[in-house]
Structure 1
Amino acid sequence: MDIELILLCIGILFIILSFFIGKSTRKSEEDIENISISLHQETNQLKKRLKAVEEELMIGVGPITNGQRRKTKPVHEIIVNQILSLKAQGYSIPEIAKRSSLPAEEVMEVLKSRGVAL
């Protein structure tokens, strides 16, 4: 009989403790959810910033309409340096155009403007 009474007391004690432990678990779940939401928002902001930077670097790339190319922006200095570096490494004009995402004519114009022999 003593063992049954002890087990009953332990059971009641665990039930009472579960109320206190359950509240802290809910708080932890809410904290994790808030952190997850803020992380998601920050990731979206970073994606938007990255997209803006990519659009700045996508110079001169656009669809051809009615056989005419839209007016292109000047080639960014980073891409010019990339073109010069690739030419110095021995890449051909079509390979450089493919790697720099520019038309071959524009690659040749950049090389000519920098005094590089074709």
Structure 2
Amino acid sequence: MDITIILIIIGLICIITSFFLGNSSSSYADELEQVSISIHQETNGLKKRLKAVEEELMIGVGPLTTVGKTQTTAKPVHVIIVNQILSLHSQGYSISDIAVRSSLSNDDVIAVLQSKGVIT
């Protein structure tokens, strides 16, 4: 016999037996559905926790007023950005470098540093 005929016969036998033994896939489908549901529930829980953390971070936002100009404008600067500005200033970065890294204007960086008493 030729090898191709033997392989075809073995393939047909496997296909026929798979019809008789194929009922176990329903248990796998149930397990997959349970895993999908649990992942969905965990994702929703993480979204709720993330929203709570974002709300906590927004509590620390306060207005920043610039002094010494004819018109005082209030721009909210987040506490994290204020900490970043202070850290960069303590590391010796120039005001223009700090402004680029924090996505603020030079005047805003100077106002933050003045409000924290770092520069006068």
TM-score calculated relative to the size of structure 1: 0.52
Displacement of 1:34 after TM fit?
A: 0.8
Q: Tell which deviates more after alignment, 87-96 or 47-56.
A: 47-56
Once the two structures are superposed, the pairs formed by residues 1-118 of structure 1 within 5 Å of their partners are: 15=20, 17-19=21-23, 21-49=24-52, 51-52=54-55, 55=58, 71-73=74-76, 76=79, 78-117=80-119
Q: How many residues are matched?
A: 98
Alpha carbons 1:60, 1:102 under 8 Å: kept = no
Unaligned segments of structure 2, at least 5 residues: 1-12, 65-70
| Alignment-derived partner of residue 65 in structure 1 | none
Q: Tell which deviates more after alignment, 35-44 or 89-98.
A: 35-44
Alpha carbons 1:97, 1:104 under 8 Å: kept = yes
Call closer, same or farther: CA 1:28–1:91 in 2, change over 3 Å.
same
Call closer, same or farther: CA 1:41–1:113 in 2, change over 3 Å.
closer
Corresponding letter in the other structure for 2:36: E
